[in-house]
Structure 1
Amino acid sequence: MQNTPQQTTYNDEIDLFELFETIWKGKWLITAITCCFIILAGLYAFTAKEQWTATAQVSVPEPSRLDSYLAIEESYHRYAMLSADTTFDTQKALEEAFTIFRSSLFATDTKLEAISNTEYYQTLSQSLDDETARLRLLNNMVANSLSASAATTNNHFLYNVKFSAETSNNAYEVLVEAINHINNEALELLAERQENRIKNRVFTLETQALKLKNSTEHNRKNKTLELQQALQAARAAGITEYAGVSPVIGSNSIINLQSTDTPLSQSTDMLFLLGANYLQAQLDALSNSPIIYPANYYEIQRNTESLQALLDQEIDGQMFFYTSTPKLPLVKDKPRKALILVLGALLGGVIGTFVVLLRSAIRNRRLKNQAS
């Protein structure tokens, strides 16, 4: 009973030595299989297409990058006659511009157009005769090669932009071309939105001016009609001169007839007492003098003309700022040749060892069956 554990340990050592002996006997087979896997891994590593990725980081532009846009925005706030609490904020305007650029950066149609205009895509697509294959290539490049992502979780104004290509130069050049194209598309969208905002404000101001104009002209017509009626009444009553009887119309018995703000309706019934001569003179003066509109009307006209002049100005510049400019990538993403060869050798060694042990187990089982 005391010798049983020793015997078990002895048998285990014998089995372990037999295992190593089996592997050692099959070392040439293991080596051959490992070499085959190394060769296959090498073939893949040295023939697979390389992938290089160029990266850039963009953020909210500096004021000098969009000086033309900011100048128009500042003028817009000066002439638009907005509410007193609406002031021009440079930083906010820049952030709004970058938001438009960011939206274009993620817009699929914009990215498709940006990539399709690059020399890199045009070179690759020349070898494809089928239009469907070209579209498949373009969609694949947009979906897998060009990407944008937030640099940090809580910062909505800092983004990384990447492009992957088969060579380092292609990755760098396409990234620069794509960002510039997206910037131009975003500039057009920014200019369009600014133009629409200016046109809408011009329309609003023109509507206000038209209301003032119509109101003033309506008051002018009412004044003329009231004087004509009073003149007829004075002639009918035979009153040619002011009789000196003050009409009972309150403290303001004689009102400035030239003023557009005078409420003539308060004294219409008593105007004939001023006499036909006086009323005729007032009527002639009113008929021959130009209409004087309120001061606000002329201010609106000047501001409207200033706003319309802004529509002729063009916007250019850069809707982003490079916090990290695109650079030629120095290390390729794939294939990693050394890693592939090491993994090939390890996989070949494991499979080779498994084959040797499997062959040995099958052989031992056959011998055992023959012996029984």
Structure 2
Amino acid sequence: MSEELKPTYQDDEIDLVELLQTIWDGKWLIATFAAIAVLFGGAFAFLKPSTFEATTDIRPVTTIHAQLYSPSNALGFFTVSRELLLNSFVEFLDERSLFEAAIRKYELIDRSKFETEQDYDNAIVELAASIELLPPINEDGADKGESRRYWSIKFEGSEAKKWLAVLSEVTQAATLNVQENLISRFDTALLVAQQSKGFKLEDLQLAIQNANSDYTRKTSDRLAFLREQAAIARKLGVAKNTLEAQTFMANTGVVANVKSDTPFYLRGYEAIEKEIELIESRDDIRAFVDGLVKLEQDKRALEQDRTLDRAKVLFESTPIKSSEPFMAAEFDVYATDIESKSKRSLIVALSLVLGVMVGVMFVLIRSAVRNRKAKVTPLV
């Protein structure tokens, strides 16, 4: 006997109803594949460390808080504005050293994953450097594109609670640093102003001494001149001033009074010696020193100036030195916008779709294999 194969027919047409029926018949198998895929996908999604993106706004202090500095600012010696407080706060954040200390304190990076302390330190520095400190852009929103009204901190990580603890630590440290910096700057400004005031007083005192010295020198020269002129007048027998003015008769018969520059001794030794006597009898020379009144007025005004004392009192009444709570910026850690980056739901959904697709393919392939085997039968 010989076996012959029955002829087979190649049918390239797809029967949609048959295809759907095949898929329906294998629904439980497809469901099994989908369940396995969801199981593995879910396990991956939930065992994988969750990641997040956190954004925290840094706002200037309120106008109400800023009003607490008004009395001190009104004096004009040391002005503390909302902009100064905010900029100082941002400057300390931008140094990153505060972040590095807080990251280390709250173990935002696992030390056990690094072989050496140097590697661990480098990782902390890199993580602190990756924190974005974003300035405000397009604050009024008038232009199209991205708009950000305030400074903000943006960070991507995997442990939200630890990051919030780091933010809280950094906020307190930066605020304290700003406060200490402002106190130091005020003390420095006060010291410089006091030194400047002292220098001005020294200059005025020196100017007064110079004015007195100039008077002494001028008086000495004057007395020497007067004594010489008095001696000449006595020698010539000129007791009184006789030539203050001379009268001449012109040829036309007109009388003219002509004042001429006469020698000083012609005033007479009586007047000259009287002037010498008066000069030598002066007990208080201040009335005769040129410019002394103005110099003494300037010195007195500077000595009586209480601007620096008042500036210190008013500064100590501000939140920087008083019992009022000091704030450099509005920084609410718990208002941080935390957005998950893990996409766990998406992973599970994609796992489900992939499982269904694999299940459908398996069912269709299995059905095609069975149909081919059924069509190939031996001939007797």
Asked if Structure 1 and Structure 2 have the same fold, meaning a TM-score greater than 0.5 normalized by the shorter chain, the answer is yes
Distance in 1 between residues matched to 2:59 and 2:19, nearest whole Å: 63
SS at match of 1:275: helix
> Structure 1 vs Structure 2: percent identity of aligned residues?
20
Equivalent position of 2:275 in the other structure? 275
Contact 1:49 1:166 (C-alpha < 8 Å) held by counterparts? yes
Q: For 1:154, which of 139, 164, 175 is the aligned residue?
A: 139
Is 1:96 aligned to 2:81, yes or no? no
Gaps of 5+ in 1: 1-10, 81-87, 249-268, 366-372
Distance in 1 between residues matched to 2:136 and 2:312, nearest whole Å: 36
Structure with more of its chain in helix, by fraction: 1
Q: Deviations over 1:18-70 (max 9, x none)?
A: 65467567767755553443232222222122346776544222467578866
Shift of 1:227: 0.7
Distance in 2 between residues matched to 1:209 and 1:331, nearest whole Å: 61
Distance in 2 between residues matched to 1:335 and 1:27, nearest whole Å: 31
Give TM-score scaled by structure 1 length.
0.61
* Corresponding letter in the other structure for 2:350: L
Contact 2:57 2:336 (C-alpha < 8 Å) held by counterparts? no
Equivalent position of 1:310 in the other structure? 312
Is 1:189 aligned to 2:181, yes or no? yes
Contact 1:114 1:181 (C-alpha < 8 Å) held by counterparts? no
Change (3 A) 1:274 1:209: farther
Equivalent position of 2:350 in the other structure? 343
Q: Deviations over 1:144-166 (max 9, x none)?
A: 5x554457731687344466665
Q: Deviations over 1:262-306 (max 9, x none)?
A: xxxxxxx99966532211123x5339x997643223323444882
Gaps of 5+ in 2: 1-10, 141-147, 234-238, 245-264, 373-380
Equivalent position of 1:333 in the other structure? 340
Is 1:321 aligned to 2:313, yes or no? no
Distance in 1 between residues matched to 2:240 and 2:301, nearest whole Å: 42
Change (3 A) 1:16 1:203: farther
Distance in 2 between residues matched to 1:193 and 1:38, nearest whole Å: 62
Distance in 2 between residues matched to 1:302 and 1:132, nearest whole Å: 60
Q: Deviations over 1:188-225 (max 9, x none)?
A: 33344444544554555555444433333222211110
List aligned pairs for 1:1-372, cutoff 5 A: 14-17=14-17, 20=20, 30-31=30-31, 33-51=33-51, 56-62=56-62, 65=65, 72-77=72-77, 93-105=81-93, 107-116=94-103, 119-121=105-107, 124-125=110-111, 128=114, 130-143=116-129, 146-149=131-134, 153-154=138-139, 158-161=150-153, 166=158, 169-202=161-194, 204-238=196-230, 275-282=275-282, 284-286=283-285, 293-303=295-305, 306=308, 310=312, 315-316=320-321, 317-322=326-331, 325-327=332-334, 333-353=340-360
Shift of 1:319: 0.9
Contact 1:175 1:326 (C-alpha < 8 Å) held by counterparts? yes
Equivalent position of 1:7 in the other structure? none
Distance in 2 between residues matched to 1:303 and 1:13, nearest whole Å: 107
Change (3 A) 1:303 1:167: same
SS at match of 2:212: helix
SS at match of 1:174: helix
Distance in 2 between residues matched to 1:341 and 1:363, nearest whole Å: 33
RMSD: 5.1
Distance in 2 between residues matched to 1:311 and 1:16, nearest whole Å: 92
Work out which of the two has the higher radius of gyration on C-alpha atoms and give 1 or 2.
2
Change (3 A) 1:307 1:42: same
Contact 1:57 1:160 (C-alpha < 8 Å) held by counterparts? yes
Aligned residues: 315
Contact 1:198 1:311 (C-alpha < 8 Å) held by counterparts? no
Distance in 2 between residues matched to 1:167 and 1:61, nearest whole Å: 29
Q: Deviations over 1:120-146 (max 9, x none)?
A: 1378447755223322442354345x5
* Corresponding letter in the other structure for 1:109: R
